[in-house]
């Protein structure tokens, strides 16, 4: 008889959906959204609707493999787990003896968001003394921008969106990346709210909005300053709120805004003066404007400043004081689940060097004292997702680099491995998940046995610890025991009843410890528009990095509803919906280059060149080109994916990736 088992979506998405998995004879037969989950409410995205096709894909790795050809060729021979672990540990012992443990670099990110499996390697690498990875590829600039203005103030409840009368989906492709936020925005709209989308091209989210505003990539800080200029010039301010809650407003008004008129900043943000003026008036006059800020606009050289500047808007119009008003960037619920019992920083002796995951290319090709001699990749696909793919691949090709990849599929990265280890999917191991798009969490047990010889991240680190000859009892615990350690950790966020709910596998909603719309957890106790501890005391227009690269078109490497970063390319039907790796271009830009629709083209800059099929479309404004998805190399015509064009430069705050801060030129492929 088929059985229905509760599980949780493990992917890097704010929604952390509750799943119902139908299991028959040890196989997942179908997956649907849990109707009783407070956020999911039965609605799943197109990617997870057929998660069983990922879990039981014929492409799954089922046994450890050893390289049997040149690096990158994909030629491997099967070996046993015992042999694989022994070979890895022998090589590491040799490397540590010759070069020290810092010559070993772990590389992981967010293949799974489960608090145990995601962090399962930390204790091991801390004890080993390996180089530490700075995990900053996603949106640390967003956090940095928020922190400069708002300190440790937690996020407001995103469900308030439903009470707003003007919803701004800003730099977020919610229809693809946060479908439950999209649903809630549409509920607000049905109740009479207007819905705006602010993006760099016409996404499905723009189609669902009443109005779409298309900005120049990286131009939102300028737009926000121009809006502030109009709001101040036309006295659309909420003076009482500012007097009681805002620090530094006068300095912004006196020192910065005079140079930020719509006329001055229109060329930077790409919107006409009259549109900026109208936006400012409508935003300021709305009863309770709500901004849902995505991560798209933070992956630029000016990303932190952009986020900080936009976040000033609700303060000057007093939106925080109204139900449904404010700005939401994402929840930070670390306090609810302290990770120390799993990551064990106390295992570290000394302070091994930090290597930015955004600069893997340089780490593998330039870093010295010691050079990186071994790379251990788990639940990440750096050969595809990391910036400056040419540098990354040059590194991965090094014969003297010993690479191990623990994966579910033979990804671009796994193809360069000396040893590949097969990984479980989330249905095959237990974990505890917390959302970063609302305040909820849920635990789940394994729903099915491991596929083939796959093992979870935690199991592999347990085996590696034994292989290294360590007798530390920590590594002999089971995954369930570690999850219990996380649950048992006392924190004011959860009382005993709530923790019991989690143990029973029920989704749990919780609330932040302070009122996020009243109590500002900053040094001054106010919203700090001026922050003298920051290198930039006041918001001001900052350029993006790529303007200095000298190529005429801004490239937007965007997301697709049918994949998640480089995940889901194993599902044939989803991949078919994406068709092929395309470059979207405005008709005028195509005409200026003599290019025609469906033609094979090459986009290039100083770092690389990438082949695309051209799609000419009005959805993209002049001066911008767009490509969606992070394709596996086996499914694209050229040898390189979009990240051959992106750079290893970092954001202004948070040391984040600047994956969207790219300029290129385009020509036909011959």
Ligand X SMILES: Nc1nc2c(c(=O)[nH]1)N[C@H]1C(S)=C(S)[C@@H](COP(=O)(O)OP(=O)(O)OC[C@H]3O[C@@H](n4cnc5c(=O)[nH]c(N)nc54)[C@H](O)[C@@H]3O)O[C@H]1N2
Q: Where on the chain is the footprint of ligand X (CB under 6 A)?
A: 12-13, 109-112, 117, 137-139, 170-173, 176-177, 198-201, 203, 215, 217-218, 220, 294-297, 378-381, 385, 406-409, 411, 423-424, 457, 556-561, 563-567, 630, 642-643, 646, 659-660
CA atoms within 13 A on the CB side of 254: 5
CA-based nearest residue to 583, from 563, 565, 556: 556
Contacts of 127 (CB under 8 A, 6+ apart): 344, 347, 348, 465, 470, 472
Alpha-carbon distances of 657 from 306, 357, 652, rounded to whole Å: 15, 9, 10
Minimum distance from CB of 385 to Mo ion (Å)? 9
Q: Which C-beta is closer to ligand X: that of 246 or that of 260? A: 260
Minimum distance from CB of 299 to ligand X (Å)? 7
Alpha-carbon distances of 264 from 198, 272, 326, 490, 530, rounded to whole Å: 20, 11, 27, 53, 22
Q: Which C-beta is closer to ligand X: that of 193 or that of 404? A: 404
Minimum distance from CB of 58 to ligand X (Å)? 15
Minimum distance from CB of 561 to ligand X (Å)? 5
Minimum distance from CB of 104 to ligand X (Å)? 17
DSSP 646: -
Report the b/e string of 387-402 with b at 16+ CB within 10 A. Answer: bbbbbbbebbebeebb
Minimum distance from CB of 391 to ligand X (Å)? 14
Backbone angles phi, psi at 234, to 5 degrees: -95, 10
Binding-site partner at residue 155 among ligand X, Mo ion, none, CB < 5 to 8 Å by type: none
The reply to whether 174 sits near Mo ion by the rule CB under 5 A is no
Binding-site partner at residue 131 among ligand X, Mo ion, none, CB < 5 to 8 Å by type: none
Query: Binding-site residue total for Mo ion (CB under 5 A)?
Result: 1
Contact 265, 624 (CB under 8 A): no
Alpha-carbon distances of 263 from 199, 266, 275, 305, 637, rounded to whole Å: 20, 5, 11, 21, 44
Minimum distance from CB of 174 to ligand X (Å)? 6
Minimum distance from CB of 569 to ligand X (Å)? 9
Q: Which C-beta is closer to Mo ion: that of 138 or that of 584? A: 138
Q: Which C-beta is closer to ligand X: that of 409 or that of 612? A: 409
Binding-site partner at residue 566 among ligand X, Mo ion, none, CB < 5 to 8 Å by type: ligand X
The reply to whether 16 sits near Mo ion by the rule CB under 5 A is no
Contacts of 356 (CB under 8 A, 6+ apart): 134, 136, 363, 650, 655
- Beta-sheet pairing, 508-509 with 582-585: unpaired
Cis peptide before 370 (omega within 30 of 0): yes
Q: Which stretch binds Mo ion (CB under 5 A): 122-130, 133-141, 146-154, 414-422?
A: 133-141
The reply to whether 564 sits near Mo ion by the rule CB under 5 A is no
Spatial distance between the Cα atoms of 483 and 330, rounded to a whole number of angstroms: 24
Strands across the sheet containing 419-422: 76-78, 65-67, 419-422, 402-407, 374-378, 104-108
Q: Which C-beta is closer to Mo ion: that of 245 or that of 567? A: 567
Q: Which C-beta is closer to ligand X: that of 148 or that of 173? A: 173
Spatial distance between the Cα atoms of 427 and 19, rounded to a whole number of angstroms: 10
Minimum distance from CB of 12 to Mo ion (Å)? 5
Judged by CB under 5 A, the residue of 9, 21, 31, 138 near Mo ion is 138
The reply to whether 319 sits near Mo ion by the rule CB under 5 A is no
Q: Which C-beta is closer to Mo ion: that of 146 or that of 474? A: 146
The reply to whether 463 sits near Mo ion by the rule CB under 5 A is no
Q: Which C-beta is closer to ligand X: that of 9 or that of 159? A: 9
Minimum distance from CB of 139 to Mo ion (Å)? 6
Contact 280, 230 (CB under 8 A): yes
Q: Which stretch binds Mo ion (CB under 5 A): 135-143, 473-481, 525-533, 646-654?
A: 135-143
Binding site residues, Mo ion, CB under 5 A: 138
């Amino acid at each position: 008889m088929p059985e229905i088992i509760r599980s949780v979506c493990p992917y890097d998405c704010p929604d952390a959906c509750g799943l119902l998995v139908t299991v028959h004879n040890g196989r997942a037969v179908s997956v649907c959204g849990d109707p009783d989950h407070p956020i999911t409410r039965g609605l799943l995205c197109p990617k997870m609707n057929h998660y069983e096709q990922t879990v039981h894909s014929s492409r799954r790795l089922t046994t450890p493999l050893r390289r049997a050809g040149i690096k990158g060729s994909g030629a491997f021979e099967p070996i046993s787990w015992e042999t694989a672990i022994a070979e890895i540990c022998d090589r590491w012992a040799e490397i540590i003896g010759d070069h020290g443990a810092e010559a070993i670099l772990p590389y992981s990110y967010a293949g799974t968001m489960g608090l145990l499996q995601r962090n399962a390697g930390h204790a091991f690498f801390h004890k080993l003394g390996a180089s530490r990875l700075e995990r900053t590829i996603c949106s640390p600039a967003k956090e940095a921008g928020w922190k400069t203005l708002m300190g440790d103030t937690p996020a407001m409840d995103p469900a308030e969106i439903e009470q707003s009368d003007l919803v701004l989906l800003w730099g977020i492709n919610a229809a693809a990346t946060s479908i439950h936020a999209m649903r809630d925005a549409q509920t607000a709209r049905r109740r009479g709210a207007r819905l705006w989308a602010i993006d760099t091209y016409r996404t499905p989210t723009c189609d669902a909005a009443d109005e779409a505003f298309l900005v120049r990539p990286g131009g939102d800080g300028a737009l926000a300053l121009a809006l502030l200029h109009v709001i101040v010039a036309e006295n659309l301010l909420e003076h009482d709120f500012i007097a009681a809650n805002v620090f530094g407003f006068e300095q912004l008004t006196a020192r910065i805004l005079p140079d930020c008129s719509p006329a001055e900043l229109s060329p930077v943000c790409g919107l006409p003066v009259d549109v900026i003026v109208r936006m400012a008036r409508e935003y300021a006059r709305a009863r309770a404007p709500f901004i849902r800020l995505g991560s798209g606009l933070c992956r630029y050289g000016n990303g932190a400043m952009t986020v900080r500047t936009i976040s000033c808007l609700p303060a000057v119009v007093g939106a925080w004081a109204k139900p449904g008003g404010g700005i939401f960037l994402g929840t930070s619920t670390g306090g609810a689940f302290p990770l120390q019992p799993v990551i064990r920083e106390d295992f570290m002796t000394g302070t091994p060097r930090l290597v930015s995951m955004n600069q893997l290319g340089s780490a593998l090709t330039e870093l010295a004292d010691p050079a990186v001699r071994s790379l251990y990749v788990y639940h990440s696909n750096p050969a595809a997702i990391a910036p400056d793919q040419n540098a990354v691949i040059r590194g991965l090709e090094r014969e003297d680099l010993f690479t191990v990849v623990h994966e579910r599929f033979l990804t671009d990265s796994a193809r360069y491995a000396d040893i590949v280890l097969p990984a479980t999917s989330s249905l095959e191991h237990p974990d505890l998940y917390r959302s970063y798009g609302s305040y909820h969490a849920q635990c789940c047990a394994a729903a099915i046995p491991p596929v083939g010889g796959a093992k979870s991240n935690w199991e592999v680190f347990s085996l590696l610890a034994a292989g290294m000859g360590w007798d530390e009892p920590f590594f002999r615990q089971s995954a369930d025991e570690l999850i219990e350690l996380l649950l048992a950790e006392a924190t004011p966020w959860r009382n005993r009843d709530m923790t019991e709910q989690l143990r029973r596998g029920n989704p749990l909603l919780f609330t932040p410890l302070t009122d996020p719309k009243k109590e500002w957890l900053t040094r001054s106790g106010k919203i700090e528009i001026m922050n003298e501890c920051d290198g930039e005391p006041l918001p001001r227009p900052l350029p993006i990095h790529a303007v200095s690269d000298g190529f005429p078109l801004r490239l937007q490497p965007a997301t697709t509803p049918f994949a998640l970063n480089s995940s889901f390319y194993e599902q044939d039907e989803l991949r078919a919906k994406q068709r092929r790796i395309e470059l979207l271009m405005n008709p005028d830009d195509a005409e200026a280059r003599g290019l025609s629709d469906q033609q094979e083209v090459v986009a290039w800059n100083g770092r690389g060149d990438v082949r695309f099929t051209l799609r000419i479309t009005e959805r993209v404004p002049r001066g911008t080109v767009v490509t969606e998805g992070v394709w596996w190399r086996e499914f694209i015509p050229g040898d390189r994916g979009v990240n051959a064009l992106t750079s290893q430069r970092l954001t202004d705050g948070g040391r984040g990736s600047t994956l969207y801060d790219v300029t290129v030129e385009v020509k036909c492929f011959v």
